[in-house]
A = this chain, B = another copy of it.
Amino acid sequence: MALDHAILVSLLEKPGSGYELARRFERSIGYFWTATHQQIYRVLKRMESDGWIDVREVPQQSRPDKKEYSVAALGRTVLAEWLHEPIEPESVRHELAVKIRGAAFDDPAALIREVERHHHKHTERLAHYLAGERRDFTGPDAPEALDTGEELQHVVLRGGIAYERMTIAWLEDVLATLRRLGTAP
């Protein structure tokens, strides 16, 4: 049930509507936790009826009205409790790795295109992360001294950057292996 907690953290960083949260889950939060707007609206509704968060109807001009959510006292308590519980390291789900091992029973060379496509996507994602890092943390427009929240956001972003770099290097290893198997069977 970490979606609940991811939403609480995001609302603590800045209150917002379901729509805005969905936007954030495509950006910064989405780097380490994904969710669709359906999930978000459902969870917001439940957390509101459980008193974890408060709603405020915000009328708007030139666009539909929205409901702005913010974390209630109870929500803060729930989050604090969760923060003190131990969690297990993530269980891995890597579909591409299944395909790579499966390729032994098909044509390994046929996977090259697909792996190249993943390599391209991860390269784009890395560039995106690095741009965000320069914008918010290391560039000339970034604040000189970071507060606790910014320091923690930065270290999480560094994790995303490290992950993408590692993945790109591994995909190059995979490509070299597939090409070697193709030329010398």
A155 close to B (CB within 8 Å): yes
A47 close to B (CB within 8 Å): no
Nearest B residue to A147, CB-CB: B104
A9 close to B (CB within 8 Å): yes
The reply to whether B118 and A99 form a contact with Cβ atoms under 8 Å apart is: no
Indicate which residue in B34, B98, B166, B181 contacts A9 across the interface (CB closer than 8 Å).
B98
Nearest CB of B to A117, in Å: 7
**0 or 1 for each of A97-116: is its CB under 8 Å from B? (1 = yes):** 11111111110101100100
The reply to whether A155 and B110 form a contact with Cβ atoms under 8 Å apart is: no
What residues of chain B lie closer than 8 Å to A108, measured between beta carbons? 148, 152
For the complex, what is the distance from the CA of A99 to the CA of B84, rounded to whole Å?
A: 9
The reply to whether A6 and B79 form a contact with Cβ atoms under 8 Å apart is: no
| Docked complex: A53-88 residues within 8 A CB-CB of B | 76, 79-80, 82-84, 86-87
The reply to whether A79 and B92 form a contact with Cβ atoms under 8 Å apart is: no
Indicate which residue in B5, B103, B106, B159 contacts A102 across the interface (CB closer than 8 Å).
B5
| Docked complex: A169-185 residues within 8 A CB-CB of B | 169-170, 173-174, 177, 180-181, 185
What residues of chain B lie closer than 8 Å to A90, measured between beta carbons? 93-96
What residues of chain B lie closer than 8 Å to A31, measured between beta carbons? 92, 97
Indicate which residue in B6, B34, B80, B152 contacts A177 across the interface (CB closer than 8 Å).
B152
